[in-house]
Amino acid sequence: MDQEKRFLYHGSVLACGGRITRPYCETLEAQAASVLPVVGGYGSARVENFRYRDLISFQTASSTVCGNESDRDGRRVYNTLTTVTIEGLDIRGMVTADRVVARLVSEKSDDGEEIPMLPVGSYFTNLRIVGVPVEHTPYEELFRCETVSKLASQPKAQAMNALRQPLTYKEPKVLTSLFNFPGPESHGCTRDPDVPPWGLHIPGFGTVYLAELLITRSSRRLTMIRVRMGSPEAGELVVGDTEGNGSIYP
């Protein structure tokens, strides 16, 4: 039996979430979370004046997911948007930001092989770690090349890749960062050789990972802040987490 060709949408986003394992064992429920139906559509969520114990707080957080199709030059194009904005973020006074925005957008035609997805519009405003402003510059290739094949063809792809390994079209998945976070470290923060270049260790608190981007040929996942806490508190938190992909069936 012939089946009708259709696009299976996928998109999800949340402002923050995670779990704490010490000194108490609790789950931080996903805040301002939105999920895109498989047939497309629209969803949004908003949370104001959020505080979880004394660990994490923000003034406002809003998320949006959107999926639809349109015609362009005689082709059917499937559009997907996932975005979240967090304002007034404070994680234990160690990580603060006036604004954190995660945004992924894609436009896939019915004759395309890859899911093109760009993080344009993702940024930090006044990001500080232990009170010190965090300087960062974008990897332009990641904001300009919407597919893995285009990224792999860049002459500076190996130097750009924060994992410092060649990026090839056959690579099943690559974890990198949207930004370059240069030193020097200050106020006791250190760089761990076993931690990726976008991770910064804060003694007595944990390790903060910034603007992590997981790239595959069929999906993208962007996490603007991930905190792996160590002694005396333990657990893992994410802030500004968004994912998108999709496929044509059959």
pLDDT digits (tens, 9 = 90+) for 10-50: 999 999 999 999 999 999 999 999 999 999 999 999 999 99
Count how many domains the chain has: 1
Mean pLDDT, rounded, of the chain: 88
What domain range is 79 assigned to?
7-249
Q: How confident is the model at residue 2 (pLDDT cuts 50, 70, 90)?
A: low
pTM of the model: 0.92
- How many residues can be counted in the chain? 250
**CA atoms of 67 and 80, how far apart (whole Å):** 4
- 2 vs 248 pLDDT, higher one: 248
Q: Is position 121 within any domain?
A: yes
User: For residues 109 and 75, is the Cβ–Cβ distance under 8 A?
Assistant: yes
- 108 vs 82 pLDDT, higher one: 82
Three-state SS at 231:
coil
Q: Is position 17 within any domain?
A: yes
User: For residues 60 and 54, is the Cβ–Cβ distance under 8 A?
Assistant: no
Q: CA-CA distances (angstroms) from residue 53 to 27, 56, 178, 219? A: 12, 7, 30, 34
Structure tokens at 4: 């009708």
**CA atoms of 107 and 116, how far apart (whole Å):** 6
Type of residue at 107: E
Q: Among the residues of 120-160, which ranges form H helices? A: 140-144, 148-152, 157-160
Q: Is position 100 within any domain?
A: yes
Q: How confident is the model at residue 53 (pLDDT cuts 50, 70, 90)?
A: very high
CA-based diameter of the chain, in Å? 66
The H or E element containing residue 18 is: strand 6-22
Instruction: Report residue 17 CA to chain centroid gap.
Output: 13
Q: Choose among 39, 36, 34: nearest CA to 17.
A: 34
Tens of pLDDT, residues 149-198: 777 777 665 545 544 555 666 666 788 899 988 765 666 788 777 788 88
**CA atoms of 240 and 246, how far apart (whole Å):** 21
Q: Is position 2 within any domain?
A: no
- 177 vs 231 pLDDT, higher one: 177
Q: Is position 1 within any domain?
A: no
